[in-house]
């Protein structure tokens, strides 16, 4: 499939989401797809899977950046999902064929997710989540970073709250807030450029 030139938003988060996180990731992804915004993620369990699925349900374009070679799809239990992603988007990896996904590769590939996207949304992330690395990379690349708030008692939201407190990410509660902020930033760049 050809990757469209429309806006691209990354949706990332924990591999162990709550039902709240699963719903938010899927709903935001579907909403973006309905507005011709491509959804980027990492193909992993949890929030990544929910984001890809939400996009596909809405018949949108989604791209998965993988940590291993394209001949070693990980997680293998997402193989059917990866086949569906290929039909409407792409699987991308900088690792050569034969490379098995290794924990160190996930943090490295996160920078690609951040760089390829106009904005990054962190749905749920614990205090030591790889998704925080994606958010920090996005901020370093001068991309918009957003985070979903959660219950203050939920360990799955500690990382999101830290991003908001540290002013790395803007707190958002609807997809429209992200779309408006991205569009206003794009308008300002056009006026300045």
Looking at the DSSP bridge assignments, the partners of residue 62 are 39
Low-confidence ranges of the chain (pLDDT < 70): 1-5, 96, 184-193
How confident is the model at residue 120, as a pLDDT?
Answer: 98
The pLDDT of residue 159: 97
56 in helix, strand or coil? Answer: helix
Q: What does the alpha-carbon distance between residue 44 and residue 102 come to, in Å, rounded to a whole number?
A: 12
What is the model's pTM?
0.90
Q: How far apart are CA 30 and CA 51, in angstroms?
A: 8
Q: Strand, helix or coil at 125?
A: coil
pLDDT tens sequence across 137-146: 999 999 999 9
Backbone angles phi and psi of 26, in degrees to 5: -65, -45
Residue 191 pLDDT:
39
């Amino acid at each position: 499939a050809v990757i469209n030139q429309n806006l691209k938003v990354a949706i990332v988060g924990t591999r162990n989401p709550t039902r709240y996180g699963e719903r938010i990731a899927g709903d935001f992804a579907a909403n973006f797809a309905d507005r011709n915004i491509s959804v980027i993620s990492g193909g992993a369990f949890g929030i990544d899977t929910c984001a890809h699925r939400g996009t596909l349900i809405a018949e949108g374009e989604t791209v998965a950046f993988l940590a291993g070679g394209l001949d070693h799809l990980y997680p293998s239990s997402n193989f059917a999902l990866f086949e569906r992603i290929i039909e409407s988007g792409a699987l991308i990896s900088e690792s050569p064929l034969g490379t098995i996904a290794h924990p160190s590769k996930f943090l490295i590939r996160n920078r690609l997710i951040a760089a390829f996207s106009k904005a990054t949304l962190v749905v749920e992330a614990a205090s030591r989540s790889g998704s925080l690395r994606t958010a920090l990379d996005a901020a370093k690349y001068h991309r918009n970073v957003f985070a979903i708030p959660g219950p203050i008692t939920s360990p799955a939201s500690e990382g999101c709250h830290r991003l908001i407190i540290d002013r790395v990410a803007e707190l958002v509660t609807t997809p429209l807030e992200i779309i408006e902020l991205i569009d206003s930033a794009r308008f300002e760049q056009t006026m300045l450029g």
